[in-house]
Amino acid sequence: MFDRLEQLEARYEDLGLQLSDPTLVNDQKKFQATAKAHRDLEETVDAFRRYRKISAGIAEAKAMLADSDPEVKAMAAEELAELEPKLEPVEEELKVLLLPKDPNDDKNIIIELRAGTGGDEAALFVAEMFRMYLRFAEQHKWRVEVLSQSESGIGQGLKDVTAIFEGDKVYSQMKYESGVHRVQRVPATETQGRVHTSAITVAVLPEAEEVDIKIEAKDLRIDTFCSSGPGGQSVNTTYSAIRITHLPTQTVVSCQDEKSQIKNREKAMRVLRARLYEVEAERIHQIQAKDRKQQVGTGDRSEKIRTYNFPQNRLTDHRIGLTNHQLAMVMEGQLQPTIDALIAHYTAEKLKAEAAA
């Protein structure tokens, strides 16, 4: 481990020297790539330097214990008592930092929420969940752009909504939200106070760049149509809405939020790239999984991952057995403790898999 850390430190210092070269700014693409590589190594190198400093302090204090002066011995013992408990946590931090990075962690995401079982109640919950994610995005200062949404007949609900979240390490924070989210509560239309169970699906897709996934023009069928609102009413008399079908996979994406056909096409292509990227990533994951004795959970969207029980003010994440009795705060965007617990759980699973390999 430490040989690798020394190599990373040398690489970090070399990148720092490259960044200090004033001629590098003339090539912006290379400059940005170098700066990113340097930034990606910074946390690991800082932790390694802390570890080395603590180790050196411990070695020095142990050497001082052999001194004949009682005061020096006492000082050394005090120093050891302070430094030794700090060493193991930094070593564990380094093990985590050396885990293979998810290449998508720095990417923006496209998030899709869809009503499932439960009719109008599920549509209302889609709108509430999307509001929760918007509040969470505000806390992280992420930029949010709605790509498409379909309102339900009851006005406040959403049959589905697709949006892009842009910012720092969005996917790393949101990737475990994919799955079936179940809600249990008494609907506003329920006259006898019975608790109903509804469900929605959430898909979190890392946004793919053109270099990540190549889409041939010949593989696309593009249809235009008039935008429509709830109940099929016409919103726009021009053919600005876009439906794109990727013929090889029969993946269909539509966008009608903009009045401009060009803008709708751009948005639809962003969603299409993300979906095709996910399909390819899942194919590769399945191939790799065949060769692994122990698979690490990924929060597959087909699984029921979480229950929101409003009468009991309770959130339960079924993947890690987490229960939170502050559901009202969670729905206001206080999702970070749940996300931190999920990240910690799956990081521990990865560490176990690495140790067993």
- Choose among 63, 194, 181: nearest CA to 133: 181
Sign of CA dihedral 166, 11, 41, 281: positive
Residue whose pair of structure tokens reads 């935008």 in the numeric block: 227
Residue whose pair of structure tokens reads 């023009």 in the numeric block: 217
Q: Where are the alpha helices (DSSP H) in the chain?
A: 2-19, 28-64, 70-97, 120-139, 170-174, 261-290, 327-330, 336-356
44 CB neighbour count, 10 Å cutoff: 19
Amino acid (one-letter) located at 39: R
Q: What is the DSSP secondary-structure string of 246-275? A: ETTTTEEEEE-SSS-HHHHHHHHHHHHHHH
* Residue 317 burial (C-beta neighbours within 10 Å; 0-12, 13-18, 19+): buried
Q: What number of CA atoms fall less than 13 Å from residue 297's CA on the CB side?
A: 20
List of domains in the chain: 2-97 (1.20.58), 109-289+301-350 (3.30.70.1660)
CA distance linking residue 69 with residue 299, whole number of Å: 60
Q: How high is the pLDDT of residue 155?
A: 67
Collapse the DSSP code of 31 into the 3-class scheme (helix H, G, I; strand E, B; otherwise coil) and give the result: helix
Which two tokens mark 5?
């850390």
Q: What is the CA radius of gyration of the chain?
A: 26
Collapse the DSSP code of 334 into the 3-class scheme (helix H, G, I; strand E, B; otherwise coil) and give the result: coil
Overall size of the chain counted in residues: 357
CA distance linking residue 118 with residue 120, whole number of Å: 6
- pTM, full prediction: 0.73
Mean pLDDT by 10 residues, the chain (357 residues): 90 92 88 89 94 94 90 92 94 88 88 89 93 96 90 81 93 94 84 84 85 80 70 52 88 78 83 84 64 38 81 95 95 96 92 79
* DSSP classification of residue 237: S
E strand or H helix that includes residue 308: strand 304-309
* DSSP classification of residue 113: E
Report angle CA 90, 96, 100 to the nearest 5 degrees.
145
Which two tokens mark 157?
């609900």
Which two tokens mark 218?
């010949």
- Long-range contacts formed by 232-238: CB under 8 A, 24+ apart: none
